[in-house]
């Protein structure tokens, strides 16, 4: 089993190492979320419909789902520093391909390649950050890595939208490629070499997955987190068709969404260092509430800004689920951590597909949020099964997670 509770590194070196991880997270977040704000421009440039353009989102998510477990197993024998550099180098290649793509199929392929290292990098980065601090600060450390994702939504996504609107959408992916290359160099120079770091093996990781608590936690992520993506995947048509604003307002709406993600991430990291299961339950209930509220708020400019902020706060689910997996994964720490990001991107694909169903059947575009509320509701059902499983384990006298 990988050791995530050894003596933390000195605070300055740990802080800089976590900064390098957060920068990689920022680049990944900018690549993942910027396509949502650029979707109209990309579709127009490549002469495809919005429904076809949803494949640029789904292809990336599919890459994450496949790449996370595949790369975590193939590189399980490597030190984390080398894993992180390898993943970010491949991410650079995928985004460079997005810059150069000159057809629909080429961009779909480039997006797929970009997604392959996403979950593996973030999963290993979360474990690496947790290993640099004391156990009672793991939630905050994981939250700081995820903060890169939220800042990407807050700053990177609006920047990418502006680049796409006033210059060319390819510039957004060019910026991401440069950030990825910079992060490879930073990890090489800054990230500490750990002599006490235990490496794993594919066989150990796979055997340890025979644990229902891991799969229930992943199920909550894969289903319960999808509601946010059912809305944000179609935020561009929400702004133009529902709020009746010009496209120039989209960066403002995306900034509000990103601000909500920052707030949610901070709250989730704080909650994860306290009680995991109550934190997960509360965020799922909160997600249902804000998704149902969004269509009522969206028709006005102020309401759309507030509603987008509230949708963004759903990211609070990420840190508690990541720490929960650290508690229950046993010897499958790396594979479970990376599978968590596969699960989040299954949620991404589910949310985008649900939104596509709403749009294609002629419902008001704000109904993407109403239908999206179904997903965290199903997440609550899986959460209830997780609690029952935990109680059954206690009844049988089996060891359970300490904060369940």
Residue indicated by tokens 């649900």: 354
The answer to whether residues 307 and 335 touch, using CB atoms and an 8 Å cutoff, is no
Tens digits of residue pLDDT in 306-357: 999 999 999 899 888 988 888 887 777 777 778 887 788 788 888 888 888 8
Q: Pick the closest to residue 337 from 328, 327, 326, 345 (CA basis).
A: 326
Q: Name the band, by pLDDT with cuts 50, 70 and 90, for residue 195.
A: low
Q: Name the band, by pLDDT with cuts 50, 70 and 90, for residue 399.
A: low
Identify whether 315 is part of a domain.
yes
Instruction: Determine phi and psi for 401, rounding to 5 degrees.
Output: -65, 140
Distance CA 143, CA 129 (A): 9
Identify whether 328 is part of a domain.
yes
pLDDT at 305 over 60: yes
Distance CA 191, CA 269 (A): 22
Q: What is the CATH number of the domain that holds 230?
A: 1.20.1250.20
Mean pLDDT lowest among 100-104, 135-139, 197-201, 282-286: 197-201
- CA dist list (Å): 134 to 137, 145, 273, 275: 6, 16, 11, 17
Tens digits of residue pLDDT in 144-192: 888 888 788 778 777 887 887 788 889 889 999 999 999 999 999 888 7
pLDDT at 59 over 70: yes
Q: Name the band, by pLDDT with cuts 50, 70 and 90, for residue 21.
A: very high
pLDDT at 4 over 70: no
The number of distinct structural domains making up the chain is 1
Count Cα neighbours of 394 within 13 Å in the Cβ-side half-sphere: 10
Give, for 192, the enclosing helix (H) or strand (E): none
Q: Pick the closest to residue 185 from 88, 120, 69 (CA basis).
A: 88
Helix axis angle, 104-115 to 50-74, nearest 10°:
30
Identify whether 49 is part of a domain.
yes
Identify whether 102 is part of a domain.
yes
Give, for 47, the enclosing helix (H) or strand (E): none
**Token digits of residue 75:** 């590189």
Length of the chain: 404
| Residues spanned by the domain of 388 | 11-395
pLDDT at 10 over 50: no
The answer to whether residues 318 and 146 touch, using CB atoms and an 8 Å cutoff, is yes
Distance CA 180, CA 117 (A): 12
More confident residue, 205 or 387: 387
**Token digits of residue 319:** 């840190």
Identify whether 400 is part of a domain.
no
pLDDT at 203 over 70: no
Distance CA 372, CA 355 (A): 8
Q: What angle do CA 6, 8, 11 make, to 5 degrees?
A: 180
Q: What angle do CA 283, 344, 171 make, to 5 degrees?
A: 115
pLDDT at 44 over 90: no
Identify whether 403 is part of a domain.
no
Identify whether 3 is part of a domain.
no
More confident residue, 191 or 85: 85
Percent of the chain surpassing pLDDT 90: 29
Q: What angle do CA 315, 69, 99 make, to 5 degrees?
A: 70
Measured torsion, CA atoms of residues 116, 119, 120, 122, in degrees rounded to the nearest 10: 140
The conformation of residue 234, written as its DSSP 8-state character, comes to T
Average pLDDT value for residue range 260-271: 87
Distance CA 169, CA 161 (A): 8
3-state secondary structure 312-325: HHHHHHHHHHHHHH
The answer to whether residues 326 and 138 touch, using CB atoms and an 8 Å cutoff, is yes
Q: Name the band, by pLDDT with cuts 50, 70 and 90, for residue 236.
A: confident
Alpha carbon 276 to its chain centroid, in Å, reads 19
Is residue 393 packed enough to be buried (19+ CB in 10 Å), middle (13-18) or exposed (0-12)?
A: middle
- CA dist list (Å): 214 to 67, 153, 331, 382: 19, 28, 11, 12
The conformation of residue 102, written as its DSSP 8-state character, comes to -
The answer to whether residues 295 and 177 touch, using CB atoms and an 8 Å cutoff, is no
Tell me, what's the pLDDT at 38? 83
pLDDT at 12 over 60: no
Identify whether 304 is part of a domain.
yes
Tell me, what's the pLDDT at 142? 80
Alpha helices in 298-399 (DSSP H): 301-312, 318-328, 333-360, 367-372, 374-395
More confident residue, 136 or 173: 173
Tens digits of residue pLDDT in 352-390: 888 888 888 878 888 889 999 999 999 999 999 998 888
Give me the chain's average pLDDT, please. Answer: 83
Tell me, what's the pLDDT at 7? 42
Q: What is the pTM of this model?
A: 0.74
């Amino acid at each position: 089993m990988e050791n995530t509770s050894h003596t933390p590194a000195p605070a300055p070196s740990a802080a800089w190492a976590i900064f390098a991880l957060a920068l990689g997270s920022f680049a990944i977040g900018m690549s993942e979320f910027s396509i949502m704000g650029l979707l109209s421009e990309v579709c127009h440039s490549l002469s495809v419909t919005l429904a076809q353009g949803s494949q640029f989102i789904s292809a990336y998510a599919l890459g994450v789902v496949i790449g996370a477990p595949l790369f975590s197993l193939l590189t399980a024998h490597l030190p984390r520093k080398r894993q992180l550099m390898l993943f970010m180098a491949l991410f650079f290649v995928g985004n460079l391909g997005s810059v150069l793509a000159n057809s629909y199929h080429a961009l779909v392929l480039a997006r797929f390649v970009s997604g392959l290292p996403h979950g593996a990098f973030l999963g290993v980065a979360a474990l690496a950050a947790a290993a640099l601090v004391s156990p009672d600060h793991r939630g905050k450390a994981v939250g700081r890595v995820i903060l890169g994702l939220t800042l990407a939504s807050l700053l990177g996504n609006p920047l990418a939208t502006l680049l796409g609107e006033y210059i060319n959408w390819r510039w957004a992916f060019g910026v991401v490629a440069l950030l990825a290359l910079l992060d490879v160099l930073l990890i090489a120079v800054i990230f500490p070499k750990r002599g006490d770091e235990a490496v794993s093996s594919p066989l150990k990781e796979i055997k340890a997955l025979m644990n229902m608590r891991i799969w229930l936690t992943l199920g909550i992520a894969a289903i319960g987190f999808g509601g946010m993506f059912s809305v944000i995947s179609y935020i561009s048509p929400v702004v133009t068709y529902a709020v009746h604003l010009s496209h120039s307002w989209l960066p403002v709406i995306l900034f509000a969404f990103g601000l909500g993600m920052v707030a949610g991430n901070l709250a989730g990291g704080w909650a994860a260092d306290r009680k995991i299961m109550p934190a997960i339950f509360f965020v799922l209930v909160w997600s249902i509430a804000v998704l149902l509220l969004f269509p009522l708020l969206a028709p006005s400019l102020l309401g759309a800004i507030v509603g987008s902020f509230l949708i963004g706060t759903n990211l609070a689910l990420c840190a508690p689920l990541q720490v929960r997996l650290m508690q229950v994964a046993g010897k499958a720490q790396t594979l479970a951590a990376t599978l968590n990001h596969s699960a989040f991107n299954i949620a991404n694909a589910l949310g985008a597909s649900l939104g596509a169903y709403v749009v294609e059947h002629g419902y008001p575009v704000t109904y993407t949020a109403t239908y999206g509320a179904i997903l965290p509701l199903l997440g609550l059902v899986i959460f209830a099964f997780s609690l029952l499983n935990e109680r059954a384990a206690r009844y049988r006298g089996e060891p359970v997670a300490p904060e369940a």
